[in-house]
């Protein structure tokens, strides 16, 4: 069943919801006009439809494999990657000084969304490289930039990030990897890293690893960690890959999904590396890459959900069963109320998540272009919401996709289950969704909720403006925003962080419900009150938004009730 690029959604969001014209009006992005954006989306959409989508099943049926120490990628992935690299899609937002296009991250995010929907396993490779490009742009020396960025931007070289270790998990500060000064401006990196996405491949001429390790005088915890660039093949001054570095792929993980993406256990055995940023401040440099990746992973989630939705919709429109319950029905299962409910919910959730991701990308672009601190605060607030909600949407939508298929969804040949298996990990990597929620109620409310309250002011102002055209939907959104405001105030008043953390996930999901309704309402107003987006908004606001109340009620329960049952009680 063919994938259809969601360019129409992006164009509507750009023109009527997020205000892309504000980005194009800045001096930094003056060449990225709305017309250019439309052309970029169109070309990227064609590549996703014609090149990437046809190879998606290959990754699942013929996984990446480690053979004689070399990672062999899935059939067709070499041509898919070549199309991505040759099209310039990796370096869209990169610095033109090193060969990038210098386009807004908003456009790059839209393209990543479509690539995720068409072939998530392959899209993960350029996503990692994009994050490395940004980290090097901000923290590397001029010499490192000049040598590595042009190759990463063209896609000749790929980038990875190496954080996790077997004993450390999400507690990065517990890492044991070591770095020792070689005395010549390089360092010897020793240690083992796990869960390294695209840790090696046979489709690029080099793989460049960003590795966290500790210098001999590094303090315990995250404050003593440094960041190093460790290439698979050490390049000469002209950028020609030379001698192999002292690193290797120990094994590839056998995973639930994402079979086409090689997830490696990496061993660094005195490998030669170059420090990125300052000593003992590696986490700050790595977070440049991780924040980019958190937006990217949220988009991966909703992108995979889009692929699952499209396949489920196509199946529902073909599968004939029973007598149609509606007059002039198609005779397919799409006529049945519960199937129609699932399909509409899938569409509504995806549109809400896509709106949020575009809004976050725009905030990042506007801060970069203007330096305005409010845009920076907006981006920081939205990052954990977009990562967590986007991936939860992807999981829930792909799960419903299996359900729409009925028994055939449980049969691997249909491909419906692949979307669920592929997307499930997105709620785990780049910081689990629980960690994202803790970040939201912790660091992101350290301003007393100022950034959150500014966003709530916008939501309520939008609802007030909509009362004349859509009084019922407007009232529902305004009332939900008030409940969210009260819960945010409650969160900021809690001095015991355990009370915040206990309700962090429901708070984030309640926030996302309200924010999604806001974007749906904006879309209905922009459409003029009639049309498919208005009906989708009505579905979301009438049927999904009410969930915010139970989520926010949970958020205010505090931590005490979580510990009244002992672990022994839970086990008995």
Taking only the tens of pLDDT, the chain with its 572 residues reads 689 999 999 999 999 999 999 999 999 999 999 999 999 999 999 999 999 999 999 999 999 999 999 999 999 999 999 999 999 999 999 999 999 999 999 999 999 999 999 999 999 999 999 999 999 999 999 999 999 999 999 999 999 999 989 887 677 778 889 999 999 999 999 999 999 999 999 999 999 999 999 999 999 888 899 999 999 999 998 999 999 999 999 999 999 999 999 999 999 999 999 999 999 999 888 777 777 789 999 999 999 999 999 999 999 999 998 888 998 888 999 999 999 999 999 999 999 999 999 999 999 999 999 999 999 999 999 999 999 999 999 999 999 999 999 999 999 999 999 999 999 999 999 899 999 999 999 999 999 999 999 999 999 999 999 999 999 999 999 999 999 999 999 999 999 999 999 999 999 999 999 999 999 999 999 998 789 999 999 999 999 999 999 999 999 999 998 999 999 999 98
Record the tokens describing residue 418, joined without a space.
Answer: 């692949």
- CA separation (Å) from 401 to 134, 307, 324, 350, 398? 35, 9, 21, 13, 5
Find out whether 122 and 53 touch, Cβ atoms under 8 Å.
no
Percent of the chain exceeding pLDDT 90 equals 91
Radius of gyration of the chain (CA): 24
CB 247 within 8 A of CB 266: yes
Read off the pTM. Answer: 0.96
CATH fold for the domain made of 289-431 = Butyryl-CoA Dehydrogenase, subunit A; domain 3 (1.20.140)
β-pair partners for 190: 178, 269
Asked if the domains 289-431 and 448-562 are classified in one and the same CATH topology, the answer is no
- 489 catalytic, yes or no? no
Q: Per-residue pLDDT tens for 253-290?
A: 999 999 999 999 999 999 999 999 999 999 888 777 77
Three-state SS annotation for 263-321: EEEEEEEEEEEEEECCCCCHHHHHHHHHHHHHHHHHHHHHHHHHHHHHHHHHHHHHCEC
Query: How many whole angstroms separate alpha carbon 244 and alpha carbon 246?
Result: 7
Distance between CA atoms of 290 and 200, rounded to whole angstroms?
20
CATH topology of domain 448-562: Substrate Binding Domain Of Dnak; Chain:A; Domain 2 (1.20.1270)
At 94 the three-state DSSP class reads coil
What are the strands, taking DSSP E only, across 124-235?
157-162, 178-181, 187-197, 206-214, 225-231, 233-235
pLDDT at position 1: 60
Rounded distance between C-alpha atoms, residue 165 and residue 191, angstroms = 9
pLDDT of the residue at 231: 98
Architecture of 158-282 per CATH? Beta Barrel (2.40)
Tens of pLDDT, residue by residue over 450-495, are: 999 999 999 999 999 999 999 999 999 999 999 999 999 999 999 9
- Catalytic pick among 412, 430, 450, 568: 430
CA distance 160 to 162: 7
Domain boundaries, the chain: 7-151, 158-282, 289-431, 448-562
CATH topology classification for 7-151: Butyryl-Coa Dehydrogenase, subunit A; domain 1 (1.10.540)
Nearest to 106 by CA among 8, 34, 49: 34
Q: Is 352 exposed, middle or buried (0-12, 13-18, 19+ CB in 10 A)?
A: buried
């Amino acid at each position: 069943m063919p994938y259809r690029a969601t360019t129409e959604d992006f164009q509507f969001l750009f023109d009527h919801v997020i205000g892309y014209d504000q980005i194009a009006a800045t001096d930094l992005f003056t060449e990225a006009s709305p017309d250019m954006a439309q052309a970029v989306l169109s070309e990227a959409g064609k590549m996703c439809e014609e090149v990437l989508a046809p190879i998606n099943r290959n990754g699942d049926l013929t996984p990446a494999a480690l053979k004689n120490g070399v990672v062999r990628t899935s059939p067709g992935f070499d041509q898919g990657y070549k199309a991505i690299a040759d099209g310039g899609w990796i370096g869209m937002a990169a610095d033109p000084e090193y060969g990038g296009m210098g386009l807004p991250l908003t456009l790059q995010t839209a393209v990543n969304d479509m690539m995720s929907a068409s072939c998530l396993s392959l899209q993960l490779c350029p996503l990692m490289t994009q994050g490395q490009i940004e980290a090097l742009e901000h923290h590397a020396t001029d010499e490192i930039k000049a040598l590595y960025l042009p190759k990463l931007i063209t896609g000749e070289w790929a980038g990875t990030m190496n954080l996790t270790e077997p004993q450390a998990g999400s507690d990065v500060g517990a890492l044991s990897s070591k770095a020792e000064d070689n005395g010549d401006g390089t360092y010897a990196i020793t240690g083992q890293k796990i869960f390294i996405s695209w840790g090696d491949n046979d489709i690029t001429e080099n793989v460049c690893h960003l590795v966290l390790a500790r210098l001999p005088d590094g303090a315990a915890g995250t404050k003593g960690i440094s960041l190093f660039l460790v290439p698979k093949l050490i390049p000469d001054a002209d950028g020609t890959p030379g001698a192999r570095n002292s690193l290797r792929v120990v094994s590839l993980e056998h995973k639930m999904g994402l079979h086409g993406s090689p997830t490696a256990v990496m061993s660094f055995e005195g490998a030669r590396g170059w420090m990125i940023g300052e000593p003992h401040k590696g986490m700050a440099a790595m977070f440049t890459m991780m924040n980019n990746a958190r937006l990217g992973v949220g988009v991966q989630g909703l992108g995979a959900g889009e692929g699952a939705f499209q396949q489920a919709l196509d199946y529902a429109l073909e599968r004939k069963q029973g007598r149609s319950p509606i007059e002039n029905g198609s005779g397919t299962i799409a006529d049945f109320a519960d199937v129609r409910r699932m399909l509409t919910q899938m569409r509504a959730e995806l549109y809400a998540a896509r709106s949020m991701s575009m809004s976050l990308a725009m905030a990042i672009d506007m801060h970069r272009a203007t330096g305005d601190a409010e845009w920076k605060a907006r981006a920081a607030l939205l990052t954990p919401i977009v990562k967590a909600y986007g991936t939860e949407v992807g999981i829930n939508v792909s799960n419903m996709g299996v359900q729409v298929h009925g028994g055939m969804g449980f049969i691997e040949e249909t491909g419906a289950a692949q979307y669920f298996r592929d997307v499930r990990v997105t709620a785990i990597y780049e910081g689990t969704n629980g960690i994202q929620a803790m970040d939201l109620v912790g660091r992101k409310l350290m301003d007393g909720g100022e950034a959150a309250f500014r966003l709530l002011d916008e939501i309520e102002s939008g609802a007030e403006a909509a009362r004349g055209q859509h009084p019922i939907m407007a009232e529902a959104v305004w009332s939900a925003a008030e409940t969210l405001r009260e819960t945010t105030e409650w969160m900021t008043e809690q001095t015991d962080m355990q009370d915040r953390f206990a309700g962090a996930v429901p708070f984030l999901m309640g926030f996302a419900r309200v924010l999604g309704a806001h974007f749906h309402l904006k879309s209905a107003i922009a459409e003029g009150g009639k049309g498919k987006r208005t009906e989708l908004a009505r579905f979301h606001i009438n049927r999904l938004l009410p969930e915010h109340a139970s989520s926010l009620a949970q958020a205010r329960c505090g931590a005490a009730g979580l510990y009244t049952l002992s672990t022994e009680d839970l086990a008995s």
